[in-house]
Amino acid sequence: MVIVREVVIPSGEKRWIVLANEIKPVIPIMKYIKYLDSLGKAPNTLKSYCYHLKLYWEFLLSHDKSYKEVDLNLLASFIGWLRMPQQNGKVKYLYGEKAKRRERSINIIVSCVINFYDYLMRLDGFEKDLKTKVMKEIKVHKHSYKSFLNHISDKQLQTMNVLKVKEPRRKIKTVTEEQITQIQKACKTIRDQLIIRIMYEGGLRASEVINLWIEDFNINDHSILVRKSKTVAGENRKVYVSKETMNVFQDYIIDYHTDEVDTNFVFFNLSGKNKGKPIQYWTIQSLMRRIGKKTGIDFSAHMLRHTCATNLHEHGMDASSIQKFLGHAYVQTTLQMYVHPSDETIRKNWESAMKKQIGDLYDN
């Protein structure tokens, strides 16, 4: 059995180790994770890589294989193993079963494994250059016609991962203004209301909300400093919220941060063995489920983030500013994942374009 165990290093930060038979560290994995840590990868990235490589090690053990026996066929089998509802190669299904993981999740896991082997080859003397083998060069035509310089473009190649699973395009869900009003009305406490407001207006991730300190809030310019994030690009960025939300924040501090409370974390546990400690991710998940059940609105923390980005875009904020606001390393991520014009916006833009087109026809 392979497990991932959380440890605390001397600096007080959390790290993760992968153990075989629950006690023996998997040395190749731990060397790779230590290497990534030295590059300054975010803790959540290190954690994710540990869990991805744990799955790969479980697969190897279940198939009596060593990590040194890797080839394309083995990785293809690993993809099939990840798709199975249960990780048991001896089980045969008579009828089609729903895949255990989405295509995007499988691609992320396999990419992690390929990068792991690339590290072994470059720094640990591993003989097999797996990354080169899984990358296939294909010719890219940017146009359907051939120009007289087509013979030059023959040299323009693009690499493609031959093991990549095709991912269906999913429409990112958002919530409407009416739904947000319902959600806020359904909040039982001022703490719940503040959490919802911060994620909806500031576009914060749940993990970022959890790590907020009181001093991160600037009442004068209605800003919040996001010190900790799941990505390096998201750290130490400033987001802005409404004056009403800052008023809610001040009321919350007066009500909750009384003299007997000794913590700088904005959101903390009110009772139990973890009293005074910051809330956990599941606390926010539970809040979303509770409000969703009460209102009949199926939403999540990330849907609020999507909605924030979409609203900012539709009200004129440029993509590069939204990128910084959300803490993305690349503007392409912002455009592809979070900026989604609504049907109403598309209709208005179409009407505007048609009016210009008709006007141009009359002018000519």
CA separation for the pair 232, 68 (Å, rounded): 33
CA separation for the pair 223, 241 (Å, rounded): 6
| HSE of 33, CA atoms in CB hemisphere, 13 A | 23
Structure confidence by residue, pLDDT tens digits, 123-174? 766 666 656 666 554 444 444 444 444 544 444 544 556 566 665 666 678 8
CA separation for the pair 201, 199 (Å, rounded): 6
Q: Number of H helices and number of E strands within the chain?
A: 15, 8
Structure confidence by residue, pLDDT tens digits, 276-296? 888 988 899 999 999 999 999
Q: Do 18 and 54 meet the contact criterion of CB atoms below 8 Å apart? A: yes
Average pLDDT over residues 99-111: 84
Structure confidence by residue, pLDDT tens digits, 309-327? 988 888 888 888 988 999 8
For residues 20-42, one letter each, b for 16 or more C-beta atoms within 10 angstroms of the residue's C-beta and e for the rest, the string is: beeeeebebbbbbbeebbeeebb
CA separation for the pair 12, 35 (Å, rounded): 19
Q: Which CATH number fits domain 177-344: 1.10.1740.10, 1.10.10.10, 1.10.443.10, 3.40.50.300?
A: 1.10.443.10
Structural tokens at position 186:
């359904």
CA separation for the pair 178, 76 (Å, rounded): 47
Structure confidence by residue, pLDDT tens digits, 172-218? 788 999 999 999 999 999 999 999 999 999 999 999 999 999 999 99
What ranges do the domains of the chain cover?
Answer: 2-90+98-140+155-161, 177-344
CA separation for the pair 60, 314 (Å, rounded): 48
Predicted confidence at residue 85, as pLDDT, reads: 55
User: Which of 60 and 104 is assigned the larger pLDDT?
Assistant: 60
Q: Is the pLDDT of residue 357 over 90?
A: no
Positive or negative, the Cα torsion across 105, 108, 109, 111?
positive
Predicted confidence at residue 31, as pLDDT, reads: 92
Q: Do 224 and 216 meet the contact criterion of CB atoms below 8 Å apart? A: yes
- pTM attached to this predicted model: 0.58
CA separation for the pair 48, 55 (Å, rounded): 11
